[in-house]
Each structure stands twice: as C-alpha cells, then as structure tokens.
Amino acid sequence: MGSIAPEDDSLRVAIIGGGIVGLVLAAGLARRQVNVRLFEQAQGFREVGAGIAFNATAIRSMELIDPGVIGALRLAGAVPLSAADEDDPNDYLRWIDGYNQRDPDNPYSQKFYYKACAGYRGFEGVRRDQFLEELVKLFPPGVIQCGKRLENIEQRGSDDKMLLSFRDGTTFEADAVIGCDGIKSSTREFVIGKDSPAGEPSYTHINSYRTLIPMDKAIGVLGEYKARIFHNHIGPRANLLHYPVAESTMVNVTAFVHDPDDWPAGKPTTLMGSRDDVRAAFRDWNPAVRDLVDLFPDQLHMWAVFDLWEYPLPFYNRGRVCLAGDAAHATSPHHGAGAGMGIEDALCLSVLMGEVLASTRRDRAARGAALTTAFDVYDKVRRTRSQWLVNSSRRMCDLHHQDDWANPAKWLKAETCFEEVKDRSHKIWYYDIAGMVMDTIETFGKAADGRVQDAVLAKDVSAKDVSAMDVSVKDVLAKDESINSLAINSLVAAVSEIRVDS
C-alpha cells in the first residue's frame, strides 16, 4: 500500500470489514466514482453455509445502491421465500404452532396462526456464502484486501487524511473510514472512545443452530407446501423457521433456543453443537418439528446470539470515521432484518459520498468538512430506526417464545400478539426508502450550506442527546423550504439516473 501520489485527488474511502454490508457499500461507493478500498481481516471470504433473507426494503435499497448487487443476489440463487400460491404472487411470512398436538387423530397437524404479506418478491432467501462470492466478483483486483487487521486510525496533521495502520505493518491513507466490521468492531473505539461503556455486546440468552437441508428431504417430512415456503414454528422458549434458498434446491433451517444462563466472558460465541442438543430443546414439540430436526447433521454450528441492546451507541460517527451495519447496531435476528438494516445504511452512505463528491468538485479543500457533515447527516438519518430494530427484534423473540403457547388457558391471549408482529414487520418491510434518500440529500445540502448546521447537527458527545433524534429531518426542513424543490429535483435526477442504468 503505502502513501498516495499527491496528484491523486480522488475521494478515497476505506471500508473496514468484508461482510455483506461492507461489500454492498463498496459497490455503492465505486459506482459513485469513489476510490474505495475494502480491508478484511480474514485471509479470504469463507462463510459457513447458511441462508440469509432480504426483505423488500433491503432489496429496493440494493437496487438504489447498485443494480449489480441485485445481479449478484440473483446469480447466487436467491428465490422468493414463500410465493407458493399460484393465485397470489406475494411473499408471506407464516407463523404456525410448532408446539402443540391439538388433534389426537392427527398429531402432525399444526395450527395456522398468522401470515403477514411482504409484497411481490417481498422476501428473498439466498445462501450467504454464494451471495458473498458473487459480490466479490463485482470488484476489480486491488479493491478488496484480505488479511488486513486494523490496529489504528489517526488523523494526519498536514493534509487532513486519515492514516490506517494494520497489524501486518502496512498503512493506508484515506479521506474517510467506514467501519462495517460487525458486532466486535475494531473501528468502533475510534468513534465512541476506548473507555465508553457503549457498544458492549449483550447476550440475548438465545442460541441459534443453522443448517441446510436438501429440498427433497425437507418435503419428505414437511410435505410440499410447508417445505417450499417460509414457515416459523413457534412455541414456548424456542422457535424454528425455514425457507428455500439456492434456487429452491435447499431449505435453510434455523432453530432459536432460549438459554436461561449467562454466557461466560471469553467463551467463544460460535461453537460446534450437536443434533442431540437441538433434539433436547424440541423434545416436547409437534412431531413435524421433531422430524425436521432429525434431518439435521450430527454436528452443526451453534451461535450464541449477542446484540447491542443494552448498551447502544450515542452516535455512529466522529469526524471522518463512521460505523455501519452490526458495528453500529448489531441486532438479534428475529426480524430477519439485520443485514437489511446495514444495507439501508449503505444506501444512505453511498448517496452521501456522491453528494460530497458533487458538492466539492470545485473546492477540493472543502472535502474534509463535507465528509464530517455527511457522517453527521448519516447519524441523524439512520440511528433512530436502526436502534429501534435492535429493540424490536428482542421484543419479537419474546412474542415468539411466550410460555403462553403451552397453556391452553392462555392461547387466546398469546394469539393477540400478531397485530403487533404485523406492525413491527411492516415498519421494516414498507419503509419509505426513497423518502430516506430524499431526507439524506436535503439534510446534507442544508447542513453543507451551513444554514442549519448548528441547529440540526449539534452533537453532545457526552451522550445526553439521544432525544435530539426525535427532531425529524422533516421538522427541520419545514422551517426552511427554499431548498426543498432544489433537493427534490436532485433526488429525482439521482434516482432516475440509477434506474435508467439498471
């Protein structure tokens, strides 16, 4: 690596972490003429074979980030989760009773509880490893650097660049740094400080087991209908869900099991578990669930689920460093929306880096301030929603795992949860992502002009200021409407350009 030739005046952005969010963000920045470099600490992109699902907002965000990302998703074999009904092309999540055997004549019968409509191609499932593999192919050689473990970030005095140091002794200079390095983020301490209690991961008291099962075997135990579409089997203190991936040749199955104990400090959070552990957890469940567990491999990975619920971040940025995805707001997976929330972040950041480039084209010296402003806007636009997700996912788990599912006197009560399940799901799936892009552009435009910078973006580093996030961007904009039509035109142009390209 080494330093950059002085004549290189491209906008250089370093991304730390080569997970899905980092790669998707890199694609979005590259597409907007940013000189992007991605640093991954591992030696390569090896993933445990397991599925991941993307909701409609995440998919729409990918389209706006870079249609190439959608291409990668589809090349990786993504399929709609649950559009099994020929009369209805929409995707649904379906919740069914995984626990009880209510019908003595047919112990395999499972009560249908609820379905929530995610819209047309409103949820797509894919193998995580295959998606990563296709994403990596989007980049020319040199953009992605593996084996780079971040050690330090410092601001160089003279030319205002950020200097990254890696454990292998190399360095890299960038105009800005975005940490997409997950719940155990190394970048985070450069944003919130080494001694901040924020960002300490919390054990959610949930362990998850994931595996892929060939579709024909899944059909053998679940039947064609259940096997081919998303079902979430719920019951007391556990749930098990599955959906098709890999062009529907495989079913991705995840079991979530409550653990009343604490997780010992220092114990690895990913371990090898066994099918017998899963069998024990679902011992009293409906035989349909037990039969599916019997198809699990003898040994499989177990993840202890951690999140940032207890110690959220007071802000996602400092100067020209910011955090996205799990590094900023690691969530438990009960909405199936963790990566999708990071992809929304990536869209916001892609738009902002494009705005930074456009607004400083004739004044390169202003770039540093513009980047700082851009990350302030990012924090403003993204923090409330993404921290809500962390809370909501915990709540979804509580609703899924109610003890009441096992108590006939409480069945009616338990089922009244689904109106809330729907509201929470819809808040994610039907988010106005174009509205977010508009807010981002407008807020950046006004802040960059310095007109409302003090009012909107004042940040109280002592973390007293979470309440400021309830001043919505629209509230601020309502006070100064002169910029709106200009910004809206800019948005329309930006979105049109992207869509024409696709």
DSSP conformation class of 463: T
Q: Is 320 a catalytic residue?
A: no
Q: At what angle do helices 338-359 and 56-65 cross, to 10 degrees?
A: 30
Separation between Cα atoms, residue 76 and residue 95, nearest integer Å: 27
CB of 488 to a second copy, least distance (A): 23
185 vs 387 by CB, closer to a second copy = 387
CA nearest 446: which of 470, 412, 480? 480
Please pick, among 210, 318, 320, 382, the residue that the annotation labels catalytic: 210
Are 387 and 329 spatial neighbours (Cβ–Cβ below 8 Å)?
Answer: yes
Are 128 and 210 spatial neighbours (Cβ–Cβ below 8 Å)?
Answer: no
Query: Does 284 engage in binding with a second copy (CB under 8 A)?
Result: no
Query: Does 265 engage in binding with a second copy (CB under 8 A)?
Result: no
What is the phi/psi pair of residue 200, to 5°? -75, 120
Per-residue string for binding with a second copy, 144-163, x by CB under 8 A?
A: --------------------
Q: Is 210 a catalytic residue?
A: yes
Of the CA atoms within 13 Å of residue 234, those in its CB half-sphere come to 27
Of the CA atoms within 13 Å of residue 118, those in its CB half-sphere come to 29
Please pick, among 92, 99, 243, 378, the residue that the annotation labels catalytic: 243
Separation between Cα atoms, residue 276 and residue 311, nearest integer Å: 34
CB of 343 to a second copy, least distance (A): 20
User: Which segment (29-37, 124-132, 181-189, 408-416) binds a second copy by CB under 8 A?
Assistant: 408-416
Are 256 and 396 spatial neighbours (Cβ–Cβ below 8 Å)?
Answer: no
User: Which segment (106-114, 176-184, 346-354, 369-377) binds a second copy by CB under 8 A?
Assistant: 106-114
With CB under 8 A as the contact rule, the residue among 314, 325, 333, 338 that binds a second copy is 314
Interaction residues for a second copy, span 365-404 (CB under 8 A): 384-385, 387-388, 390-392
Three-state DSSP state, 301: strand
CB of 119 to a second copy, least distance (A): 14
Query: Does 418 engage in binding with a second copy (CB under 8 A)?
Result: yes
CB of 75 to a second copy, least distance (A): 35
367 vs 394 by CB, closer to a second copy = 394
Query: Does 75 engage in binding with a second copy (CB under 8 A)?
Result: no
Query: Which residue in the block uniquely carries the two structure tokens 């990536």?
Result: 346
Query: Does 341 engage in binding with a second copy (CB under 8 A)?
Result: no
Query: Does 452 engage in binding with a second copy (CB under 8 A)?
Result: no
Q: Which two tokens stand for residue 21?
A: 């969010």
User: Which segment (24-32, 42-50, 156-164, 419-427) binds a second copy by CB under 8 A?
Assistant: 419-427
Are 400 and 114 spatial neighbours (Cβ–Cβ below 8 Å)?
Answer: no
* Count of helix runs (H) and strand runs (E) in the chain: 17, 20
Contacts of 165 (CB under 8 A, 6+ apart): 150, 151, 152, 153, 154, 171
User: Which segment (239-247, 278-286, 290-298, 414-422) binds a second copy by CB under 8 A?
Assistant: 414-422
114 vs 139 by CB, closer to a second copy = 114
Cα separation values, 373 from 227, 320, 326, Å: 49, 9, 22
Q: Which residues pair with 35 in a beta bridge?
A: 12
Query: Does 114 engage in binding with a second copy (CB under 8 A)?
Result: yes
Are 76 and 134 spatial neighbours (Cβ–Cβ below 8 Å)?
Answer: yes
With CB under 8 A as the contact rule, the residue among 416, 462, 482, 485 that binds a second copy is 416
172 vs 315 by CB, closer to a second copy = 315
391 vs 490 by CB, closer to a second copy = 391
Query: Does 195 engage in binding with a second copy (CB under 8 A)?
Result: no
Separation between Cα atoms, residue 225 and residue 67, nearest integer Å: 32
Number of residues lying near a second copy (CB under 8 A): 38
Interface residues with a second copy (CB under 8 A) are 111-115, 197-198, 309-312, 314, 384-385, 387-388, 390-392, 409-413, 415-420, 422-423, 427, 463-464, 466-467, 470
Active site residues: 210, 243
